[in-house]
Amino acid sequence: MANYITTDTSDPGQTNIRMTTNLMIGADSDPAQELHVTGDGVFTGNITAYYSSDISLKDNIRPIESAIFKVKQIRGVTFDWNEKSNKLQQEKGQDVGLIAQEVEKVLPEVVQIREDGIKAISYEKVVPLLVEAIKEQQIQIEELKSVSLGYKELLEKRESRVKWTKERTLKKRNSNSKYGK
């Protein structure tokens, strides 16, 4: 395999790749990270990424509040990429996802506005909202189960009392008929 990089720019003196101790692809500025890519990317192999999430790196930790309410404000949708989208997206045809403007209203931290004004979602950061919504929903389910069991016990007691009353009435009738009342 060749060990070289080619670039294509309108200015032969410019490059789209800049290397210092870090690598920049797609722009001619100092890279902010070890690998900084500006623009879309297509990868033919797997991409494995891990985000630092250690508690020692975090302050002011709080659960996401009203998670079910927030989830109800966003829609999971199917859609077709239109002519305003890039070629890669258009080639996908029909796709699934969320609407960035809806997500931004309930979880603005996960929406980025790109240089061209287009909004993008960091989908993996929606997961914590979903986790908290499931937990809230589970609490509701447990409460409903408890209420349901209460009603079930009440109905069973009532049915038992009705059965007892019928049996008692029947015994009285039978005892009255035996002695010729």
Q: Pick the most confident of 43-57, 79-93, 122-136, 143-157.
A: 122-136
Q: What is the value of pTM for the model shown? A: 0.67
Domain assignment present for residue 22? The answer is: yes
Q: What is the mean pLDDT of residues 6-12?
A: 59
Domain assignment present for residue 44? The answer is: no
Which of the pair, 42 or 105, is modelled with greater confidence? 105
- Bridge partners (DSSP) listed for residue 121: 111
Domain assignment present for residue 56? The answer is: no
Give the number of domains in the chain. Answer: 2
50: left (phi over 0), alpha (psi -120 to 50) or beta: beta
Mark whether 122 and 156 lie in a shared domain.
yes
Which of the pair, 135 or 47, is modelled with greater confidence? 135
Q: What does the alpha-carbon distance between residue 28 and residue 14 come to, in Å, rounded to a whole number?
A: 8
Tokens read off for 8: 């294509």
Domain assignment present for residue 51? The answer is: no
pLDDT of residue 82: 92
CB 109 within 8 A of CB 129: no
pLDDT of residue 5: 57
pLDDT of residue 125: 94
E-strand ranges in the chain read 17-19, 23-25, 35-37, 77-80, 94-97, 111-113, 119-121
Mark whether 98 and 11 lie in a shared domain.
no
Mark whether 71 and 31 lie in a shared domain.
no
Which of the pair, 23 or 154, is modelled with greater confidence? 154
pLDDT of residue 8: 59
pLDDT of residue 3: 43
Mark whether 17 and 68 lie in a shared domain.
no
pLDDT of residue 89: 84
Domain assignment present for residue 180? The answer is: no
Residue 103 has pLDDT above 70, yes or no: yes
Domain that holds residue 70: 64-174
